[in-house]
């Protein structure tokens, strides 16, 4: 390998290292953004799942002719929400 090729390879490696180091902040920001988005999505999904479970329980309680006050107390749903089930 001649000296010119060695110089080109070194130059390419140096540019790549600098480019990667410069993009580290961008990549780190993207990773943080993805992690925050994932956490937010999981929280929303869990909340929706809990609300669905409360509605399912209320439907079963209503089908068993439980008093409305008890359904409200144990599910956390409002009387209007239970009436529409």
Query: pLDDT of 46-85, one tens digit each?
Result: 999 999 999 999 999 999 999 999 999 999 999 999 999 8
| Chain CA centroid to CA 70, Å | 34
Return the DSSP state at 57. H
Predicted confidence at residue 36, as pLDDT, reads 87
pLDDT greater than 90 at residue 2: no
The residues, ordered by sequence, that sit 6+ positions from 55 with a Cβ below 8 Å of its Cβ are 75, 77, 81, 85
């Amino acid at each position: 390998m001649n000296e010119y090729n060695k110089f080109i390879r070194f130059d390419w490696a140096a540019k790549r290292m600098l480019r990667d180091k410069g993009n580290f902040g961008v990549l780190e920001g993207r990773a943080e953004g993805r992690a925050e988005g994932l956490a937010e999505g999981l929280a929303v999904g869990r909340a929706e799942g809990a609300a669905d479970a409360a509605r399912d329980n209320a439907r079963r309680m209503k089908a068993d002719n439980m008093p409305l006050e008890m359904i409200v107390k144990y599910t956390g749903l409002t009387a209007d929400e239970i009436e529409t089930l």
